[in-house]
Structure 1
């Protein structure tokens, strides 16, 4: 037995003017890739909707995947009937057996203008049928249950089970960004927020291996495995940072260590961005959350980069960020213990209002270009593909690259 699935694309895609065909093409390709391996077959296509047929046993997996597919506003398991009122009532009767509700709404969309009833007439007649069968009240706003009907030439589609998607834009329509990925709660949420706005995101993680064990790298890989579900293809650059830190320890006042760490991270990330063809960097900073995230310190850090530095979480507090991390499924990974670069050798009393002249004076004593080149030369690049594994198409510079497909994809 087979199931029909109707996927509605995010309404914002309809507002893109002359670029609309590109946005819609990317969104449809992204949805089709999300359903790869479920034996889903595209059966019909409308400007902002797609209809798939798939095996009934594949519906739970398809439902889970579509719930995380960017560009999808909603999706539904639908029943196809003959294009007449009695057939729709019979299909509704079967759905009503699944459970009760106190209020409902019928929404009809008539694509076939030859259908003898208007959309409001269909809504009124089917509403009367549901009310008679269930005793539930019609409520146009805030209804407990909503039934949607699409009237097509030669057929009608009735939504039997509706779910919300994440909305947003499909990956790549807004260019490319390199996001700094720490082991904490904030940076994966920041990366996701840019993905949701259509940016293709590459990740950069700085780790203290071999100075400390490799738990930080493994945690970054686990976060990348979770984030790739939203973008489907993802590259993670794993950059050794211990030699940079050693040099800073020798030259910098203790209070300035973290600010200098972060400036070097931005320099290295910018070099990677140029390789990746990215036009901006991104971090998980939230204004005033920790000592390094004061306005003065952020200003001192920004001076190390020439590309724009996006901070999607800048106005959010920790509870808001935690709630989103829980929803995305990154929180449980982020709270695992690890050895993070910025906390290694961190001073007890870090500077909160960095003097840029002090920062620049320290950096004049450091071999900036050599340290950046060393970090880039010794990094690994891990390529992720979801669903399933996909061979890597190209290499990034001289870095060692291994292909890594998430388990269970």
Structure 2
């Protein structure tokens, strides 16, 4: 007798040594929460020998597959037949699957986690292969077969399947702590945030806006983008921070030759505010979508000056990516069409004609010393709106 189930495999988690259990339980928890969020009834989600096995009704398999493919930490998953670890049962399961497959050639690939089983992996391949040849008149082909049948000998039970569906890999969200990501609403910052989720970080978002001096378009756009990213971390928190008053003061103090430093000071104030949010959220790092040399504020000289505004480490996952590579990732995670929706970026307000590419830290600090920084930062935080979605 066999039953249908879903077998979830992970890659990097499997080499974590003595800490592996912590990562496995985190992935298991994230899978369970995702299924509950989407109201998918399931019987069990059990960790078994470096895999997580889900028992649920077959009618939910397709919808569950759409969820699992977006859960960080998952290498691949498969819809499998589970049977008692006896050769005759394994033969019948393989026959059941292969008789539904088109093509005249096949291959059997066995992984034997249960070393107590009498036959080796190669011997199982031969026995099951011979059985299929006899029953279906198909031919064995080790390279380039029409279909491959995978057999996992685990413990008292074995799992047999013919198709693997790729996950996104990485680590389960939550195992790498919390980070706070500056979310402009453009193409870069959502991709940077996704890459941090993929490395196991829980991401909290901060969006700076100039409403009511600009429309609410950027605010609504960021809500849509973060909601789209929730397929990777299930739920999110966004801080919407008003920045227009700070911009007004910076504009007044950066006239004439100082104008070229304006964007640098904008960015430094953003980091100072984000640092305070990070402390509140027990975050250990700040994330930006910077890509080296992409715009004036992202030269090495300018990033050095901007980074000095905070003591927190700044993670820049896109630092070595070019724009085309970022766009490819943006499309892959299905946020590109949202990212290109028109809206006025907060930094484009009072944009200098010739922003500097080589700012000077002391010159920037002299301008900042003329500003009521503490009052401006506290005012922005006091008037910030927080949304959980």
Please show how residues 56-71 of structure 1 align to structure 2 within 5 Å.
56-71=58-73
Whole-Å separation in 1 of the counterparts to 2:200 and 2:333: 17
User: Relative to structure 1, is the Cα distance of residues 135 and 372 closer, same or farther in structure 2, using a 3 angstrom cutoff?
Assistant: same
User: Relative to structure 1, is the Cα distance of residues 301 and 143 closer, same or farther in structure 2, using a 3 angstrom cutoff?
Assistant: farther
Question: What residue is the counterpart of 1:255 in the other structure?
Answer: 260
Question: What residue is the counterpart of 2:82 in the other structure?
Answer: 80
| 2:381 equivalent to 1:379 | no
TM-score (norm 1): 0.87
Report the CA distance between 1:267 and its aligned residue.
0.5
Partner SS, residue 193 of structure 1: helix
Q: Is the 8 A contact 1:102 1:144 kept in 2?
A: yes
Question: What residue is the counterpart of 1:95 in the other structure?
Answer: 97
Moved more, 245-254 or 113-122: 113-122
| 2:23 equivalent to 1:23 | yes
Report the CA distance between 1:11 and its aligned residue.
2.6
Please show how residues 140-151 of structure 1 align to structure 2 within 5 Å.
145-151=147-153
| 2:12 equivalent to 1:7 | no
User: Relative to structure 1, is the Cα distance of residues 246 and 111 closer, same or farther in structure 2, using a 3 angstrom cutoff?
Assistant: same
Whole-Å separation in 1 of the counterparts to 2:277 and 2:145: 50
Q: Which of 330, 333, 341 does residue 328 from structure 1 map onto?
A: 333
Question: What residue is the counterpart of 1:290 in the other structure?
Answer: 295
Q: Deviations over 1:348-381 (max 9, x none)?
A: 3211111222211111111111111111011111
Moved more, 310-319 or 349-358: 349-358
User: Relative to structure 1, is the Cα distance of residues 103 and 212 closer, same or farther in structure 2, using a 3 angstrom cutoff?
Assistant: farther
Report the CA distance between 1:319 and its aligned residue.
0.8
Q: Deviations over 1:320-353 (max 9, x none)?
A: 1111111111111101111111122212321111
Question: What residue is the counterpart of 2:285 in the other structure?
Answer: 280
User: Relative to structure 1, is the Cα distance of residues 273 and 124 closer, same or farther in structure 2, using a 3 angstrom cutoff?
Assistant: same
Unmatched segments (≥5 aa) in structure 1: 385-409
Whole-Å separation in 1 of the counterparts to 2:14 and 2:160: 24
Report the CA distance between 1:56 and its aligned residue.
1.7
TM-score (norm 2): 0.91
Report the CA distance between 1:73 and its aligned residue.
1.2
Q: Is the 8 A contact 1:3 1:59 kept in 2?
A: no
Whole-Å separation in 2 of the counterparts to 1:254 and 1:134: 75
Q: Deviations over 1:16-46 (max 9, x none)?
A: 3333222222121112212222112216431
Report the CA distance between 1:130 and its aligned residue.
5.4
Moved more, 92-101 or 347-356: 92-101
Question: What residue is the counterpart of 1:196 in the other structure?
Answer: 198
Whole-Å separation in 2 of the counterparts to 1:44 and 1:269: 39
User: Relative to structure 1, is the Cα distance of residues 83 and 46 closer, same or farther in structure 2, using a 3 angstrom cutoff?
Assistant: closer
Q: Is the 8 A contact 1:286 1:317 kept in 2?
A: yes
Q: Which of 343, 348, 372 does residue 367 from structure 1 map onto?
A: 372
Whole-Å separation in 1 of the counterparts to 2:213 and 2:73: 42
Q: Is the 8 A contact 1:130 1:136 kept in 2?
A: no
Whole-Å separation in 1 of the counterparts to 2:146 and 2:355: 53
Q: How many residues align?
A: 381
Report the CA distance between 1:115 and its aligned residue.
3.7
Partner SS, residue 354 of structure 2: coil
Q: Which of 152, 163, 166 does residue 164 from structure 1 map onto?
A: 166
Partner SS, residue 336 of structure 1: coil
Report the CA distance between 1:102 and its aligned residue.
8.0
Question: What residue is the counterpart of 1:137 in the other structure?
Answer: 141
User: Relative to structure 1, is the Cα distance of residues 144 and 246 closer, same or farther in structure 2, using a 3 angstrom cutoff?
Assistant: farther
Unmatched segments (≥5 aa) in structure 2: none
Q: Deviations over 1:74-103 (max 9, x none)?
A: 111011345444443443334334444587
User: Relative to structure 1, is the Cα distance of residues 145 and 369 closer, same or farther in structure 2, using a 3 angstrom cutoff?
Assistant: farther
Q: Is the 8 A contact 2:106 2:139 kept in 1?
A: no
Whole-Å separation in 2 of the counterparts to 1:205 and 1:316: 23
User: Relative to structure 1, is the Cα distance of residues 315 and 102 closer, same or farther in structure 2, using a 3 angstrom cutoff?
Assistant: farther
